[in-house]
Structure 1
Amino acid sequence: MKRLLLVAAGVCALAIPAQAFPDKPIELVVPFSPGGGSDVSARIFAGCLEDKLPVKVLVKNITGARGKIAEVEVRDARPDGTKLLWAHQGMDMAKPTGRSDYNYTAFAPVASSVVMNYGIFSGKGSGIDSVETLTEKVKANPGEVTVGTALNGFSHFAVLDFMDAAGLSVDELKTIPMSGDKTRIVATIQGNLTLVPTAVGAAAPYVDSGDIVSVAVLSDKRDPRLKDAETAEEQGVDATFAMYFTTFAPKNTPQDRIDILADAWMEAAKDPACVAKLSKQSMTVDAARGEELDQDLAKRYDRIVTLTNKFNLKSD
């Protein structure tokens, strides 16, 4: 009798279909505070996913340690596809510079989607409004032109990439450690900084008001929010350093779940309504998954390593 019950139980277990994925809300972890570019881009894109998945994608902000607390939480989470990380290249700047022992390879990439254009801006009284006038000012007054950056963070690498392409040395500009787009913008408006590297969307209202001036947009095409602002490439400088947001899952997440998520991410990225919402924030779409995404991530990381080595950013 006992044997018959066990067999019956086994048959019943086989008859129960596997649960469909996803069957509960997905948590999208943003490693920075609400209101910033990472948070805004994640929330817009999560909204774009509403009709692409049978469950909601909920944005959760986890701050601290320049993103590391959030990164580690997702990295070490149960690999079931329900907890994901929304990260840009800033995560990959920590390992080469010695702030971390991991990079993007510690995760399973799902898809890239949103791109936030970045640029170099100056105070209105600086007399700098182009790569040419910046170069002239720097060469005439070595060490007097100041730029605020989060050392070894995204803004720092963006400036170094631009300087490298423009033929400017670190000895010719004075770098001031300063985190936060708004903090750097205010300092530039007040005349305490000459240059501010920042997201185009963050700078645009102050460009409109005349408080700061665009020097160069670091993308391959002009930003729709600042249509008159020339790119570095238009000015003869091969510098592109946009902020690419990629969604990552824990390393051993089953491939079928990665594929389901990637399908939804790619569909949302191609939705004209989603593209329009992002455009209002100076954000565009550059969707990639699978092998294409792997190649993109490797290429961006290689550039970070090259800049780290060239400018001796590795901490002891």
Structure 2
Amino acid sequence: MTLRKPTRREFIGSAFCAPFATSLGVTGARSDTFPSRNINITVPTGEGGGSDRDARLFTEILKTHLDTNFEFGFYPGASGQVGYEFYMNNREPDCHNLIVSFMGAEVIVLTLQAPHIQIGRDITFFQQIMSEPMAIFSTPDSGIATLEDLVKKAQQEPMNIAVPRLPHTSSIGMLALGEATGAEFNLIPYGGGGPTAMAVVTGEVPCAAMGLSTILSVADKATILGIFDNVNPIPDITSAPLVNDVFGSKIPPLKSGRSWAIHTKAIEDYPDRFEILKSAIQKTATDPAYADAVAATGVPRELIYVAGQEETMEFADNLVGLANRYKSLLSAG
């Protein structure tokens, strides 16, 4: 093969055009400004619920750290499964699509109802932004003033307990408490935190087990009986005892956490985009403006919990283990 030496005009022309060709992405190297369009947020619950509220609140602050807008889609059903199925099957794994997760319930649902969506292999929870323990509460009119009262009655006859969903960390707490004390609880799912709290307030059921923040929304009518954790995160608000301290049990801490999740394939195929996204979300989670916005909704600042990808995935793995341990009971009915 014979190589021809370029003329002076050809050389100058090619040198002049090269920078422009590179900037326009016509040299073979893809230009990848991120984000290049709005980011879609899949919400696996109904519009107006806690996930909607928390995601909108967070993204309002996130806009100051990431130059884009956010579009929300709501896909409730099957305790969150419908939303995850939609996200995995209909959203491109290109880092322009996220799902907001209420991890406690939804990880359990994925484990029990959608084993084809595997945590880690298919979906990655990469940033936790809130954490709340499960708790049990009654009302002053229920006749149940303490945790000991509840267990004593449930040892004598089965007690109806409201829970947001059957596959839920609060359900695991009540099942574990029954195992530890010989009490018998009938779990009645009410399809969400708000309806569960109201079932107790109206006297439809004597007690409920659910996330602490929702109980606080009816604090003027609630008696918090016990907390499923190793520490009370809000001692200035409630002096409720820890369940394990009352009965000497060894129930693991039972929490739920709000977090952001993404296709694992998006992380693998677009690592640079993911780092930009993850960095912006981390900055938002630690932004004082976010803490102020949370407090303005009535949720204690103490429930803000910032954890990175490794810790968040460890939390998810622990929930998978709990779901499998109580699988037969959580799947009943």
When normalised by structure 2's length, the TM-score is: 0.78
Q: How many angstroms apart in 1 are the aligned matches of 2:216 and 2:289?
A: 22
1:224 CA drift (Å): 7.0
- Which residue is 1:142 aligned to? 157
The answer on whether the counterparts of 1:108 and 1:252 sit within 8 Å (CA) in structure 2 is no
The correspondence of residues 273-284 of structure 1 with structure 2, limited to 5 A, is: 273-279=289-295, 280-282=298-300, 284=303
Question: How far has the Cα of 1:234 moved from its partner?
Answer: 5.4
Deviates more, 1:34-43 or 1:284-293: 284-293
Bigger Rg, which one: 2
Equivalent in the alignment of 2:109: 94
RMSD over aligned Cα atoms? 3.0
Give per-residue Cα distances to partners, 1:153-184, cap 9 Å, x unaligned: 22xx3132244157145x61222343222322
Deviations 1:158-216 (A, max 9, x none): 132244157145x61222343222322222223221211233332224221xx332112
| 1:275–1:130 distance in 2 versus 1, CA, 3 Å | farther
Decide whether the 8 Å contact of 2:167 with 2:331 is kept in 1.
Answer: no
Paired AA for residue 93 in structure 1: I
Partner of 1:216: 226
Q: CA deviation at 1:82?
A: 0.8
Percent identical among aligned pairs is 18
Give the alignment of 1:90-239 within 5 angstroms.
90-98=105-113, 101-105=116-120, 106-139=122-155, 141-143=156-158, 145-154=159-168, 157-165=169-177, 167-169=180-182, 172-208=184-220, 211-219=221-229, 220-223=231-234, 226-232=237-243, 235=246, 238-239=251-252
Task: Confirm or deny that 1:61 pairs with 2:63.
Answer: no
Match of 1:256 in 2: 272
Query: CA 1:129–1:96 in 2, change beyond 3 Å: closer, same or farther?
Result: same
- Letter of the 1:79 partner, please give it: P
- 2:37 corresponds to 1:24: yes
Confirm or deny that 1:49 pairs with 2:62: yes
| Secondary structure of 2:276 counterpart | helix
* Deviating more after overlay: 236-245 vs 67-76: 236-245
Aligned-residue offset at 1:150: 4.7
Q: Is the 8 A contact 1:75 1:251 kept in 2?
A: no
Aligned positions, number: 301
**Is residue 79–residue 165 contact of structure 2 (8 Å, CA) maintained in 1?**
no
Q: By how many angstroms is 1:122 displaced?
A: 1.2
- CA shift, 1:315, in A, is 6.5
Whole-angstrom distance in 2 between the partners of 1:151 and 1:24: 36
Deviation readout 1:235-276 (Å, 9 max, x if unpaired): 455453222122112231122222211111111111223123
Determine the structure 2 residue equivalent to 1:70.
83
Aligned to 1:302: 321
CA contact (8 A) 1:27 1:57 kept: yes
C-alpha distance in 2 between matches for 1:79 and 1:47: 23
**AA partner of residue 216 (structure 1):** G
What one-letter code is carried by the residue in structure 1 that aligns with 2:299? Q
Cα deviation, residue 24, structure 1: 2.0
| Structure 1 unmatched ranges of 5 or more | none
Q: Distance in 2 between matches of 1:225 and 1:54?
A: 38
CA contact (8 A) 1:117 1:223 kept: no
- 8 Å CA contact 2:42–2:100 kept in 1: the answer is yes
For 1:251 and 1:264, locate their aligned partners in 2 and report how far apart those are by CA, in whole Å.
18
Distance change in 2, residues 1:183/1:297 (3 Å): closer
Q: Is 1:289 the counterpart of 2:308 in the alignment?
A: yes
Shift of 1:151: 4.9
Deviations 1:266-297 (A, max 9, x none): 11111223123324324622222333333232
